[in-house]
Amino acid sequence: MLQTNLTLFAIALAGTAIGAYTDLKTKLVPDWSNYFMLIAGLFGNTIISLLEKSFWPIIFSLIGAGAFFGIGYLLYITGVWGGGDAKLLAAFGALFGPAAPVAAWPFLASLWLNILVFGAIFGIGGMLILLVKNRASVLPAIKQEFKKNGLLIYPIVGTMVITGILYPIKAVFGLVAILAGLVFLLFVFKAAESSCLIKTVKPSSLVEGDWIAEQVNIENFAFISKKSGITKAEIAKLVELEKSDKLKEVKIKDGIPYVPAFLAALITTVIYGDLFYKTMMLFFSHAVALP
């Protein structure tokens, strides 16, 4: 039983490491790796069910795969993630559905919360790196965003500063400062998006799931940008237009690789536990201790 669980973790670790590498290198996550993990999770938990003479491991594996697929698919159709990320999440559900909890809620909930935490950390870090690299073109865009949304941004900055100063008095002020800071960063990233994440490529360089940043309307073909990304059939049509010299290039919206956050969350959850839960326990204990 323990050996089987370790095997499933090793499979998840190897598959996610492969996905993280390809995501960083090509912005793609291989389907074969995700499908292998999904099948391994269902098959492995079937073996555990047989060894324990209980249906619960495979039932929880199926429930986990279904629940995580639903979450991943929702994020995919809303344009938050790519299809590979959604498939990887479903594989996690199949592999770790029956896993023992590491907090006050199921293991998968802790894994999901850690994915969100590391996704935010890596996303903010990646955007900050892009901001520094493209600061010459980004700064004018940020100034323009401040002019357009000054009535919202300046109160947020004021709240962030004031609550940060008051943090030693009551820990809750520190939490408010962090939340205000995150909202402020959203405005900065929104301003920088067109400078950092929009790039021009040839239609023949497109891959399934790419986010087209503008509408393409040539002859009898019209492509309207959608959050789920472009399909293989649509790419084929754009390539035809490129070959006939009717379309030279398209603008796509790039993204920050997310699978490394999956890898960090997986390792952290198994070895350390639930970051969100432990942080909240530490926060509340600190808040109670303060006068």
CA 247 from centroid of its chain's CA atoms: 32
| 3-state SS assignment for residue 250 | strand
What separation, in Å, do the N-terminal and C-terminal C-alpha atoms of the chain show? 49
Sign of CA dihedral 104, 106, 107, 112: negative
**Torsion over CA of 268, 16, 67 and 85, rounded to 10 degrees?**
120
CA 128 from centroid of its chain's CA atoms: 16
> What pLDDT is stored for residue 175 in this prediction?
62
CB atoms within 10 A of CB 126: 16
111: left (phi over 0), alpha (psi -120 to 50) or beta: alpha
188 close to 131: Cβ distance less than 8 angstroms: yes
pTM of the model: 0.78
| 3-state SS assignment for residue 79 | coil
> What pLDDT is stored for residue 93 in this prediction?
96
> What pLDDT is stored for residue 1 in this prediction?
43
Query: The tokens 């820990």 sit on which residue?
Result: 171
> What pLDDT is stored for residue 81 in this prediction?
80
Longest CA span, the chain:
74
> What pLDDT is stored for residue 28 in this prediction?
82
Distance CA 28, CA 22 (A): 6
Residue type, 68: F
> What pLDDT is stored for residue 191 in this prediction?
67
pLDDT, one tens digit for every residue, the chain (291 residues): 444 588 999 999 999 999 999 998 888 889 999 999 999 999 999 999 999 999 999 999 999 999 999 999 988 887 778 888 999 999 999 999 999 999 999 999 999 999 999 988 888 888 778 777 777 777 777 777 777 766 666 676 777 677 666 666 565 666 666 666 666 666 676 666 666 777 888 888 887 777 777 777 776 767 777 766 777 888 888 888 888 888 888 888 777 788 999 999 999 999 999 998 988 887 766 554 444
Of 131, 151, 152, the C-alpha closest to 142 is: 131
Sign of CA dihedral 166, 167, 170, 175: positive
Long-range contacts of 31-35 (CB under 8 A, 24+ apart): 31/84, 31/87, 34/84, 34/87, 34/88, 34/90, 34/91, 35/87, 35/91
Q: Counting every residue, how long is the chain?
A: 291
Distance CA 33, CA 29 (A): 8
Distance CA 150, CA 182 (A): 16
